[in-house]
Structure 1
Amino acid sequence: MERNLAVLMMVMAMMMSTSSASSLVTFIFGDSLTEVGNNNYLQLSLAKSNYPYYGIDFAGRKATGRFTNGRTIGDIISAKLGIPSPPPYLSLSPTNDAILKGVNYASGGAGILNDTGLYFIQRLSFDDQIKGFEKTKQWMKAKIGDEAANKLCNEAVYFIGIGSNDYVNNFLQPFLAAGQQYTHDEFVELLISTLSEQLLRLYQLGARKMVFHGLGPLGCIPSQRVKSSRRQCLSQVNQWVQQFNSKVNKLIANLNAHLPSSQLIFADTYQEVLDLIENPTAYGFKVSNTSCCNVDTKLGGLCLPNSKLCSNRSDYVFWDAFHPSDAANVVLAQHFFNTIFSNSPSPAPLPSS
């Protein structure tokens, strides 16, 4: 635990350094919480958000493929670091110089397991995203040579946030095999063993500074609350999430102990997200038990173009049945920085509704 905190502070201090901020390279892996448009390029994908009212509070009021009304946490953190938010991997070509400045591989519906989100038809699983990074590195070598590409990858920071869909769009779905085939203890061991191989693969490709974002209280998101007759958080789901987080934390400590020069971090955001949901007024919100967009969870829980919106989007913690609002993402990103730095920047402004 102490080593993890020390490494995290070192990595984040490097990221916040004004001398290095402009040259900082970040690679982002994950699901719909951090996607910036990869699924737009997957013709058959059913996990898309490139339509109104997504993006209504984003620059130009444009739906870009982000699963929120505005910015992701990744967008906000990039702005705080003074760097552009990395573009989607599938938007880039081998000759594009943007590959040298950071890439976002995140894909809505993605999971640690390759069969997670199977009913979305197309999405980039974590394995697919790692293969994408491997291809990106080959493109880098062709542009700047092996030595420079290896150095760039060793010095870059890798943000990884994945695992939510392995629960929401796999284990917790009664019509899928995982929930019937495994007990939760067996399922979480499958997740951890698979994740271990994936993180090792990234390390072999040159990743050294990796920050893995733990899961939040999935039992409290609107899509799960509707399963409760009183719209309460599902305590069993939250207990499973905490079990997953604990095992990932131990996995990362073990990898750090055995991989030379590794600087892997487990960023536990569970309690912060839970506090935001349980005490929304303390953060300037009014509603945290349902979403701003009036969604039909039987049809997937996304904000369709014919959906009805709340009157004030900044009052709501959740935008749709799964994803935080722009205003909530601001709070969560700022809290993360405040946890690490006592002299962190002032909060990003809330979007205008």
Structure 2
Amino acid sequence: MAIPLILAVFTAPIIAMAANYTSLVTFIFGDSLTEVGNNNYLRYSLARSDFPFYGIDYPNRIPTGRFSNGRTIADIISEKLGIPSPPPYLSLNRQDDALLKGVNYASGGAGILNDTGIYFIERISFDDQIGCFENTTRVIKKRLGEESAVSLLHEAIYFIAMGKSLLRSPLYVFGLSIGSNDYINNFLQPFLPYSRRYTHDEFLGILELKLAEQLTRLYLLGARKVIFLGLGPLGCIPSQRAKSTTNQCLQQVNEWVVQFNSKVQKLINVLNVKLKKAQLTFADTYQDGMDLVENPGKYGFKVSNTSCCKVETAVGGLCLSYAHVCDNRSEYVFWDAFHPSDAANVVLADRFFTKLFATSNSSSNSSSSHEG
């Protein structure tokens, strides 16, 4: 359920780009950083946030399944584009017209590897999210016809990163990143087999092979223009700081993240050569995330080394209903042990949006700082 700081989500919205973003459709993949309630429909899932104090700053102050006190980064970017945030896939049926208007497949606990987050019992792995997307493409083909649907999918841009030079294309799939859970809820857990059986280099090789398979699968489903957003400094999230006797960032974890980002960037270069007409792009967001943690005052925050909700990291790090929640939530970078606060998501979304959608429209949106 982690995917802290920088969207640990592989988000992918197909955005039908018309002038000034007037007609957009989004399909979002990822983990808890972009989930909007899929896990609420999984009866046995332990990766849930459908209880107080989640949603305390969301409209009507109700928990929705978002792992935040308010909105996700995907919610905020949808607002900037002037479109509704898409509903969770599991809330829809195959005949629902909403499938053609945008769907969120993200699931807390999801990772590149299928057994990542296995102790959450139920979650929708990245493989399964792609399977859900494949089902959606069948609906699109049935509704639009094979030729129109294939054309739509080929012209779409699948964002797993950032790149404004691609904005001239008429269609978009918006994506962020995935991979944080493979560290937080897999390799960094000493009681799970990956940390005992493999060195980090070996583990990284396993992630690379699986991700190559998944990106190729998306390609075979019609994705051509893909942008991958790298991971942020996971060693600085509260759940990792808690492992330090001095509450400092874990340098070793951050070094592994940098290696992961480098490996993914090289993989993308290889796939661009291997897959005909593929246009994959990698964006490294590590420094953006580190700047927010190291210089919170620059963005209007006061606290970046602990969470607003006083969580117990030994029992999961979520903001449980009996926890104490700070009153000054807009001054904290982190909401719980893994996830940014609503205010931090605004900053991250602003920086991401500026790089992605740097057009005249962006001048009407909020600045990189937030009002506390």
Taking the TM superposition and a 5 Å limit, the aligned residue runs for 1:228-243 are 228-243=244-259
Residue 256 of structure 1 aligns to a residue whose secondary structure is: helix
CA RMSD of aligned residues (A): 2.1
Segment drifting more, 332-341 vs 167-176: 332-341
Segment drifting more, 16-25 vs 318-327: 16-25
- Cα distance between partner residues in 1 of 2:32 and 2:93: 23
1:58 Cα deviation after fit: 1.0
Change (3 A) 1:327 1:283: same
Deviation string 1:136-165 (CA, Å, 9 cap, x unpaired) is 111222222222222232224141421000
Segment drifting more, 234-243 vs 52-61: 52-61
Aligned to 1:266: 282
Deviation string 1:70-108 (CA, Å, 9 cap, x unpaired) is 111111111111222121111111111111122111100
Taking the TM superposition and a 5 Å limit, the aligned residue runs for 1:6-21 are 19=19, 21=21
1:208 Cα deviation after fit: 2.0
Change (3 A) 1:191 1:124: same
Aligned to 2:30: 30
Q: Is the CA contact (8 Å cut-off) linking 1:95 and 1:143 kept in structure 2?
A: no
RCO comparison, higher one (Cα < 8 Å, 6+) = 2
Structure 1, unaligned runs of 5 or more: 1-13
Q: Is the CA contact (8 Å cut-off) linking 1:160 and 1:210 kept in structure 2?
A: no
Of 265, 268, 273, which aligns to 1:257? Answer: 273
Residue 141 of structure 1 aligns to a residue whose secondary structure is: helix
Tell me whether 1:67 sits opposite 2:67 in the alignment.
Answer: yes
- Cα distance between partner residues in 1 of 2:367 and 2:52: 24
1:16 Cα deviation after fit: 11
- Number of residues of Structure 1 aligned to a counterpart in Structure 2: 340
Aligned to 1:330: 346
Aligned to 2:298: 282
Segment drifting more, 95-104 vs 231-240: 95-104
Taking the TM superposition and a 5 Å limit, the aligned residue runs for 1:155-170 are 155=156, 156-170=172-186
Aligned to 2:109: 109
Deviation string 1:273-323 (CA, Å, 9 cap, x unpaired) is 100000101110000000000000011000011111112100000000000
Q: TM-score, normalised by structure 1?
A: 0.91
Deviation string 1:162-192 (CA, Å, 9 cap, x unpaired) is 1000000000000000000100000001001
- Cα distance between partner residues in 1 of 2:277 and 2:347: 33
Aligned to 2:263: 247
Q: Is the CA contact (8 Å cut-off) linking 1:35 and 1:105 kept in structure 2?
A: yes
Q: TM-score, normalised by structure 2?
A: 0.87
Residue 19 of structure 2 aligns to a residue whose secondary structure is: helix
Change (3 A) 1:245 1:289: same
Change (3 A) 1:140 1:338: closer
Q: Is the CA contact (8 Å cut-off) linking 1:222 and 1:291 kept in structure 2?
A: yes
- Cα distance between partner residues in 2 of 1:256 and 1:43: 40
Segment drifting more, 150-159 vs 84-93: 150-159
Q: Is the CA contact (8 Å cut-off) linking 2:15 and 2:174 kept in structure 1?
A: no
Change (3 A) 1:95 1:16: closer
Q: Is the CA contact (8 Å cut-off) linking 2:309 and 2:319 kept in structure 1?
A: yes
- Cα distance between partner residues in 1 of 2:294 and 2:104: 31
Aligned to 2:366: 347
Aligned to 1:143: 143
Aligned to 2:49: 49
Residue 325 of structure 2 aligns to a residue whose secondary structure is: coil
Change (3 A) 1:290 1:55: same
1:15 Cα deviation after fit: 6.7
1:18 Cα deviation after fit: 5.6
Aligned to 2:210: 194
Segment drifting more, 261-270 vs 188-197: 261-270
Aligned to 1:11: none
Of 281, 299, 303, which aligns to 2:315? Answer: 299
Segment drifting more, 51-60 vs 310-319: 51-60
1:23 Cα deviation after fit: 2.6
Q: Which runs of 4+ in 1 moved over 4 A?
A: 14-18, 348-353
- Cα distance between partner residues in 1 of 2:255 and 2:368: 34
- Cα distance between partner residues in 2 of 1:293 and 1:205: 41
Structure 2, unaligned runs of 5 or more: 1-13, 157-171
Give the % identical residues: 64
